[in-house]
């Protein structure tokens, strides 16, 4: 019998399109703020200002009665996510939006590798080939030796790795606690984790900068919510390919709003990575497993 979440593909695609627009909005605002606010502080303010959205999750967190082991795992995930978010904000201020977006697609690929290396998951030849193809896509974007590999690119490689590590830890907890607890604990631990980094580089933000960063929190929260609606409406095999539209919008946004040059190699590399991620997602759906996250699941 066809399950409910497989019977509304059009609705799933719609919500994933909206999700993409929300996350492109995040990148646009962060790019606008630029390096006026240090990366660690900007990330910290985004989470502090977003704590207002955490209020409905307080009761489920208190009712969960987390064990010592679960608390340690949540704090470990928070540490990984903290480093990823700092690097992401850092990269956004230094390299084009399209390159940040394309390289962010690598996170699900790292999850597949990490699951095989640390969780004992099998890595069949076809999935291994897809991982290798995705890494080739990253090389196409970076083109070492043909163009300068900037520190922002290195930061994005680190971002994808730390996001993947955080997801693998979350995977250990997903069957033990509810989704509101997972999301709420992430917000709490990352806010605490970012605090010392933010204090170390603190500059007094203007009211305008605070308003922009609150808008980032709004876009990010809305994006995670609509992404949940997309997953409820249709399987990943339907919604995953839609995430490639984010690269199209990112290229358009960068060119029209920020005057960034359109780089065909970045688009090609992003397409290669996205095709690989879609294949991995499809193979996992066939195997009735949910190892690899959707690309958006790693967003700030």
Q: Are 61 and 184 in contact (CB under 8 A)?
A: yes
Residue 147 pairs with which residues in a beta bridge? 144
**pLDDT higher than threshold 50 for residue 115:** yes
Write out the two tokens for 253: 């946004």
Answer with the residue of higher pLDDT: 255 or 291: 255
What pLDDT score does 284 carry?
Answer: 67
What pLDDT score does 209 carry?
Answer: 93
What pLDDT score does 286 carry?
Answer: 67
Query: If pLDDT is split at 50, 70 and 90, which confidence band does 291 have?
Result: very low
Give the span between the Cα atoms of 175 and 259, in whole angstroms.
Answer: 45
Query: If pLDDT is split at 50, 70 and 90, which confidence band does 113 have?
Result: confident
Average pLDDT, the chain: 85
**pLDDT higher than threshold 90 for residue 6:** no
What pLDDT score does 287 carry?
Answer: 63
**pLDDT higher than threshold 60 for residue 212:** yes
Give mean pLDDT, residues 209-234: 87
Taking only the tens place, the pLDDT of each residue in 76-109 is 999 999 999 999 999 988 889 889 888 988 888 8
pTM, to two decimals: 0.82
Taking only the tens place, the pLDDT of each residue in 132-177 is 898 898 889 888 767 778 899 999 999 999 999 988 888 788 778 8
Q: Which are the contacts of 162, defined by CB distance < 8 A and separation ≥ 6?
A: 80, 81, 83, 84, 87
Q: What percent of the chain has pLDDT over 70?
A: 91
């Amino acid at each position: 019998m066809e399950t409910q979440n497989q019977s509304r593909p059009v609705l799933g695609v719609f919500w994933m399109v909206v999700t993409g627009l929300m996350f492109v909005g995040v990148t646009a605002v962060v790019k606008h703020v630029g390096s006026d606010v240090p990366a660690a502080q900007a990330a910290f303010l985004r989470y502090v200002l977003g704590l207002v959205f955490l209020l409905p999750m307080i009761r489920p967190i208190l009712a969960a009665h987390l064990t010592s082991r679960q608390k340690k795992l949540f704090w470990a995930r928070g540490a990984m996510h903290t480093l990823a978010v700092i690097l992401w904000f850092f990269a956004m201020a230094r390299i084009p939006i399209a390159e940040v977006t394309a390289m962010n697609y690598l996170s699900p690929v790292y999850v597949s590798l990490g699951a095989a290396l640390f969780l004992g998951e099998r890595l069949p030849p076809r999935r291994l080939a897809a991982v290798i193809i995705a890494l080739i896509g990253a090389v196409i974007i970076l083109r070492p030796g043909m163009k300068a590999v900037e520190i922002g690119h290195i930061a994005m490689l680190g971002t994808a790795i730390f996001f993947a590590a955080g997801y693998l830890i979350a995977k250990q907890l997903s069957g033990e606690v509810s989704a509101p607890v997972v999301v709420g604990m992430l917000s709490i631990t990352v806010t605490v984790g970012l605090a010392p980094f933010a204090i170390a580089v603190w500059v007094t933000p203007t009211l305008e900068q605070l308003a922009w960063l609150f808008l980032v929190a709004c876009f990010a929260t809305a994006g995670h919510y609509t992404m949940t609606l997309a997953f409820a409406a249709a399987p990943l095999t339907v919604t995953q390919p839609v995430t490639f539209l984010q690269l199209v919008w990112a290229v358009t946004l960068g060119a029209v709003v920020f005057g960034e040059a359109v780089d065909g190699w970045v688009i090609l590399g992003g397409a290669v990575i996205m095709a690989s991620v879609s294949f991995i997602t499809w193979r996992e759906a066939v195997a009735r497993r949910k190892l690899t996250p959707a690309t958006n699941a790693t967003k700030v």
